[in-house]
Amino acid sequence: MNRQRGGFAMGLIVGLLIGLALALAVALYVTKVPVPFVNKVPQRTAEQDAAEAEKNKNWDPNAPLSSKPGQRASGVVAASAPAATPAPTTPVAPPPKASAPASARDPAAILGDRAPNAVKPTPAADPFTYFVQAGAFGKPEDAEQQRARLAMMGFEAKVTEREQSGRTMYRVRIGPFPRKDDADAAKDKLAGVGVESALVRVQK
């Protein structure tokens, strides 16, 4: 029984040693065999690394933009050129409206055109002459005093005599006036300054 156990342990140890040997052999084989896509890259030397660093030091990222100034300038000019403006169009004036025919004119306008040539009727002549009497006095002194008073107010009056009921009356009158409207205007002015008067009409 003890001999069987000893043989089993010895076999286990021997198997482990054989497995380790095989694993070591596989590892050595892997390190010696080149790996695909890895060992194909060429190894860089120190001189190549220094040249690459010097190239990157003097590299200008804007060099491609300034390498062709002629092409860049032409592109700017083409972009900034203004669009052609259309020629201004001259507005067309509307045709003048045809004048209305003579038959369509306003009758009042036609009569107005002929009005200067028409004979205007002359008003009838007034058969009377008008005076504004500012008083009648029995004494000539009183009449002259009234006339002087009116003269100071700006009215030109005259003193006239007339026999009335066997006695002489001295009348103070302003006028004559050819039209009644003028006599009424003078009468209104006298009333405005406080002088009583009367309108007198005399046959021509």
Would you kindly state where each structural domain of the chain is located, as residue ranges?
A: 135-203
Residue 175: partners with Cβ closer than 8 Å, 6 or more residues away:
129, 130, 131, 132, 183, 186
Residue 101: partners with Cβ closer than 8 Å, 6 or more residues away:
none
Residue 118 pLDDT greater than 60, yes or no: no
Residue 169: partners with Cβ closer than 8 Å, 6 or more residues away:
136, 137, 138, 161, 162, 163
pLDDT at 15: 86
pLDDT at 29: 77
State the Cα–Cα distance between residues 147 and 174, nearest whole angstrom.
Answer: 9
Residue 108 vs residue 170, higher pLDDT:
170
Tell me the pLDDT of the chain averaged across its residues: 75
The predicted-structure confidence for 5-25, as pLDDT tens digits, reads as follows: 667 788 888 888 898 888 888
pLDDT at 47: 78
Give the predicted TM-score (pTM) of the model. 0.40
| Architecture in CATH for domain 135-203 | 2-Layer Sandwich (3.30)
Per DSSP, the three-state class of 162 is strand
pLDDT at 134: 94
pLDDT band at 76 (very low <50, low <70, confident <90, very high): very low
pLDDT at 98: 56
